[in-house]
């Protein structure tokens, strides 16, 4: 066996992909599975975006592009950030990358090393903790509070900062909870960060356009953070483009050359046709995005009360994204057992909260990026399965 570097043993994974593989294997074996495990829109990429990608190939865009991305795309990103948040960002600070994950990987590798601490949301996107460990840094979990709609508490976060803290990761709207941090909480955090000028901030706003109420508060609207804020965003969720692998980061001017070097050392550039497709997404009609959001809103309006009606389930209403994260402690099953038994016995794929960190214990993540019929089917199956457990327990005299 070749000898791996020590850090390889620190690398975690994203359980949603494992659940997807298991659900697909069961489906291939003839089982009827409702998959609410994977976090991707169930819509096709809007047609005008697909056409722009195909046209780019037909027009001969087959070679390398600049490592940071084609200029029209970086200009369109800057214009879109101005449209959404009213901020003026130079296209020179935009680094186009193959998916939102890449900005996360670069930011964590840029600051993480043994002895350093990185604060990250928990329950949160599992790759944060995985890459922090891979970098050698110590992951410091930022608790998200169910009672606060899965927001962080600014005072609590500020109290976690030590002289070793290099990076603070925020994610609102959040995966896996759908939680949205209120503006007042973000204001207090940013005000407190003035006392910690050496701590960088990475704000993962990949679900920033997926909000059901109010407006998204982008960290880019705080000018005092400009020289230490990394914005993570991309096309995967908003434009149903997960498979195109296209995202972007906005980097502080002083950090940009390092991020660009990481790109040159790893992927060189994003494939050209995806970049032209991304350009069409930002400059084309917005009606397809509005239609997708209307569908997500309809599904949310169904699934939250439906989950709350299941015995032992308690589900907060998600403010954004397309995830419901009910507390299932009342069922008497731990989340991982529930995840595997619901998949094997009821044919419903979900992801245990512990896949998103220790503080996700007692919860299950439902991705409601699925048709209303599929959601109704899933809730019906879970209800029947829970009923059967009670009947069986009753029959055993438990």
Residues interacting with ligand PLP, by CB under 6 A? 39, 99-101, 125, 171, 175, 204, 206, 234, 236, 242, 247
User: Cα–Cα distance between 392 and 384 in angstroms, integer?
Assistant: 12
CB nearer ligand PLP, residue 181 or residue 306: 181
Cβ atoms of 327 and 338 within 8 Å: the answer is: no
CA-CA distances (angstroms) from residue 227 to 93, 198, 206, 251, 377? 11, 10, 21, 8, 49
**Minimum separation from the CB atom of position 16 to ligand PLP (A):** 8
Least spacing, CB of residue 270 vs ligand PLP, in Å: 11
By beta-carbon proximity to ligand PLP, the closer residue of 99 and 288 is 99
- In the bound state, the residue with its beta carbon closest to ligand PLP is 99
Segment holding 324, helix H or strand E: strand 323-324
CB of 262 to ligand PLP, least distance (A): 15
Residue matched to tokens 């059901």: 212
Q: Do residues 293 and 148 make contact, with C-beta atoms less than 8 angstroms apart? A: no
| Residue (236 or 271) nearer to ligand PLP, CB | 236
Q: Which is nearer to ligand PLP, 12 or 383 (CB)?
A: 12
Least Å distance, CB 127 to ligand PLP, is 7
In angstroms, the CA 189 to CA 196 distance is: 11
Tally of CB atoms within 10 A around 262: 20
- Of 288 and 320, which has the nearer Cβ to ligand PLP? 320
User: CA–CA separation, 33 vs 35, rounded Å?
Assistant: 6
Residue with smaller CB distance to ligand PLP, 99 or 362: 99
CA 138 to chain centre: 21
End-to-end CA distance of the chain: 50
Shortest Cβ 323–ligand PLP spacing (Å):
9
Of 20 and 346, which has the nearer Cβ to ligand PLP?
A: 20
CA-based nearest residue to 84, from 213, 178, 219: 219
Instruction: Give the nearer residue to ligand PLP in terms of CB position, either 46 or 347.
Output: 46
Q: Whose Cβ is closer to ligand PLP: residue 207's or residue 333's? A: 207
- Asked if residue 116 lies in contact with residue 138, where contact means CB atoms within 8 angstroms, the answer is yes
3-state secondary structure string across 356-396? HCHHHCCEEEEECCCCHHHHHHHHHHHHHHHHHHHHHHHHC
Residue labelled with tokens 């512990």? 354
Min separation Cβ 395 and ligand PLP, Å? 42
Least distance from C-beta 98 to ligand PLP, angstroms? 8
Cβ at position 278, least distance to ligand PLP in Å = 11
Strand pairing report for 348-349 and 351-352: unpaired
Of 143, 299, 270, 285, whose CA–CA distance to 210 is shortest?
Answer: 299
Q: Note whether 99 and 275 are within 8 A (CB).
A: no
Q: 247 vs 357, which CB is nearer to ligand PLP?
A: 247
CB of 37 vs ligand PLP, minimal distance in Å: 12
- Minimum Å gap between C-beta 248 and ligand PLP is 10
């Amino acid at each position: 066996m070749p000898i791996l570097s020590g850090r390889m043993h620190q690398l975690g994974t994203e359980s949603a992909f494992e659940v997807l593989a298991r659900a697909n294997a069961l489906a291939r074996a003839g089982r009827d599975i409702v998959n609410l495990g994977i976090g991707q829109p169930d819509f096709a990429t809007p047609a005008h975006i697909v056409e722009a990608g195909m046209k780019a190939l037909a027009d001969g865009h087959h070679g390398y592009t600049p490592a940071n991305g084609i200029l029209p795309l970086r200009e369109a990103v800057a214009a879109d950030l101005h449209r959404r948040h009213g901020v003026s960002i130079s296209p020179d600070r935009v680094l186009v990358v193959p998916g939102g994950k890449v900005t996360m990987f670069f930011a964590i590798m840029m600051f993480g090393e043994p002895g350093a601490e990185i604060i990250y949301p928990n329950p949160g996107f599992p790759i944060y903790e995985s890459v922090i460990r891979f970098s050698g840094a110590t992951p410091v979990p930022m608790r998200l509070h169910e009672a606060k709609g899965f927001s962080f508490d600014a005072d609590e976060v500020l109290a976690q900062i030590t002289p070793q803290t290099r990076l603070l990761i925020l994610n609102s709207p959040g995966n896996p909870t759908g939680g949205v941090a209120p503006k007042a909480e973000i204001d207090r955090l940013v005000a407190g960060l003035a006392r910690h000028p050496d701590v960088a901030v990475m704000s993962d706003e990949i679900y920033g356009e997926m909000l059901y109420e109010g407006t998204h508060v982008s960290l880019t609207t705080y000018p005092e953070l400009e020289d230490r804020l990394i914005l993570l965003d991309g096309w995967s969720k908003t434009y149903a483009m997960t498979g195109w692998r296209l995202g972007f980061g906005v980097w502080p001017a002083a950090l940009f050359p390092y991020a660009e070097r990481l790109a040159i050392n790893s992927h060189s550039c994003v494939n050209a046709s995806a970049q032209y497709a991304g350009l069409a997404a930002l400059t084309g009609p917005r009606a397809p995005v509005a239609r997708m959001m209307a569908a997500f809103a309809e599904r949310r309006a169904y699934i939250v009360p439906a989950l709350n009606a299941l015995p032992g389930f308690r589900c907060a209403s998600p403010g954004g994204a397309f995830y419901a994260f009910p507390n299932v402690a009342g069922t008497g099953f731990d989340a991982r057992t529930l995840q595997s038994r619901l998949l094997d016995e009821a044919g419903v794929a979900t992801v245990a909260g512990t896949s998103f960190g220790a503080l996700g214990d007692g919860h299950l993540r439902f991705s409601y990026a699925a048709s209303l019929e599929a959601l109704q089917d899933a809730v019906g199956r879970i209800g029947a399965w829970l009923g059967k457990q009670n009947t069986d327990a009753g029959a055993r005299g438990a």
